[in-house]
Amino acid sequence: MAGSEAVEDKEIKSAVSSCEAYFEKVQSRKNLPKSLQETLNSAFAGIPVSSFPQVPGGRVIEIQAETPVSEAVKILSDSKILSAPVINTDHESSLDWRERYLGIIDYSSIILWVLESAELAAIALSATSATAAGVGAGAVGALGVAALGMTGPVAAAGLAAAAVGAAVAGGVAAERGIGKDAPTAADKLGKDFYEVILQEEPFKSTTVRTILKSFRWAPFLPVSTESSMLSVMLLLSKYRLRNVPVIKTGEPDIKNYVTQSAVVHGLEGCKGRDWFDHISALPISDLGLPFMSPNEVISIESEELILEAFKRMRDNNIGGLPVVEGLNKKIVGNISMRDIRYLLLQPEVFSNFRFIFTHLFLITTSLVTMMTE
């Protein structure tokens, strides 16, 4: 246990170090006059965190670390939220946020865990001769993982026979060795994949704590109720956070969330102020942007599978990417990590992975959004 925690801490520190290096490089490229930078800092420092709107209902929804993944999905869905802080049940009564909270669980963490599970299923399929022989799902389930001779990473991960059975039923058996990565594997598993992942062991009993250990790369950094908008903006930009929790010293619960969207809305409210109008008229190059050349931008072709888009975000630790078409890579849309919630919450719409290409995903999610608003 201690060894795994040491590895986890090392990975987090490495990610934090990378974020800090990125932030410092952007800062060094700014061409803003010092007087203007000081004016901006002073303006944002004068806007209290308490001025941001409260979360819907006025209460932050929290999830216990030992909550099963399937239940966590239901809580997020029922509460109409994208993420929630995770309480460390070993220190639930602590007034110190460092002990009380383990981090943030969101749809992106869950779907990335699903993608990794798909990779394990793909490995299992390529490791067994049962697929080549065309053994049915029931036979695979009856034989079990051990009987199929699975060893190495699959056995260590404890991959359920049920998952392999579902994979065979989904059509992978006809194409031995096809599942070499998560998008291919998940695409071929068929509509029962999520049902297997969320309802069969060992996936059914997988807890939120387990997912956080694997996919928590960003630090959990709250601000106090006395903090300013400047502190929030620095945390969001420096560590590539999607939200910043707000706590009150000496009290155990998180009082509010300040999200990227809330900050953008806050900036929109600054229109008409001299300092804001001045900076908004400057070219983006004066802000150190664009940070990379066009050929360095990570994108996804509209004809590629949507799961490849999410895998690309995972591999590059980014929250979104443009959808492009043609030789000139014309931008036709955008995919973000928050969009993956549709894969979990709209199984009747996205049940057949064989046909979910990025352009179709964009069209379908737009229609789903319009219908639910």
Residue 223 near residue 49 (C-beta atoms within 8 A): yes
Residue recorded with tokens 């420096």: 238
Rounded Cα gap, residues 339 and 163, in angstroms: 25
CATH code of the domain covering residue 359: 3.10.580.10
Domain-embedded: residue 322 = yes
Residue 369: how many other CB atoms lie within 10 Å: 11
Per-residue pLDDT of the chain (373 residues), as tens digits, is: 455 555 555 555 565 566 677 777 777 777 778 888 888 889 899 999 999 999 888 889 999 999 998 888 888 888 888 889 999 999 988 988 889 999 999 877 777 777 666 555 555 545 444 443 343 333 333 223 332 333 333 333 334 444 444 444 444 333 433 334 444 444 444 444 555 556 666 667 889 998 888 766 567 889 999 999 999 998 988 887 888 999 988 888 899 989 888 898 888 888 898 888 888 888 888 877 766 777 888 999 999 988 788 888 877 777 789 999 998 899 999 998 778 777 766 666 665 655 688 998 898 888 777 766 5
Domain-embedded: residue 333 = yes
User: Is residue 340 exposed (0-12), middle (13-18) or buried (19+ Cβ within 10 Å)?
Assistant: buried
Strand partners, 207: 68
Work out the end-to-end distance of the chain between its first and last CA atoms, rounded to an integer number of angstroms: 46
Count of alpha carbons within 13 angstroms of residue 121, beta-carbon side: 36
DSSP code, position 90: G
Residue 112 near residue 219 (C-beta atoms within 8 A): no
Domain-embedded: residue 338 = yes
User: What's the whole-model pTM score?
Assistant: 0.70
Domain-embedded: residue 108 = no
DSSP string, 277-289: HHHHTS-GGGGT-
178, two tokens: 């096809």
| β pairing state of 254-259 and 63-64 | unpaired
State residue 161's pLDDT score. Answer: 41
Domain-embedded: residue 340 = yes
E-only strand ranges, the chain: 63-64, 83-87, 101-106, 223-224, 243-247, 254-259, 300-301, 320-325, 330-336
- What is the identity of the amino acid at 88? N
Domain-embedded: residue 44 = no
Q: For the chain, what is the domain count?
A: 1
| β pairing state of 101-106 and 83-87 | antiparallel
The number of angstroms, rounded, from the C-alpha of 101 to the middle of its chain's C-alpha atoms is 18
364: containing domain: 294-372
The number of angstroms, rounded, from the C-alpha of 109 to the middle of its chain's C-alpha atoms is 4
Domain-embedded: residue 310 = yes
185, two tokens: 């594997």
Domain-embedded: residue 49 = no
Q: What are phi and psi of 213, to 5 degrees?
A: -65, -30
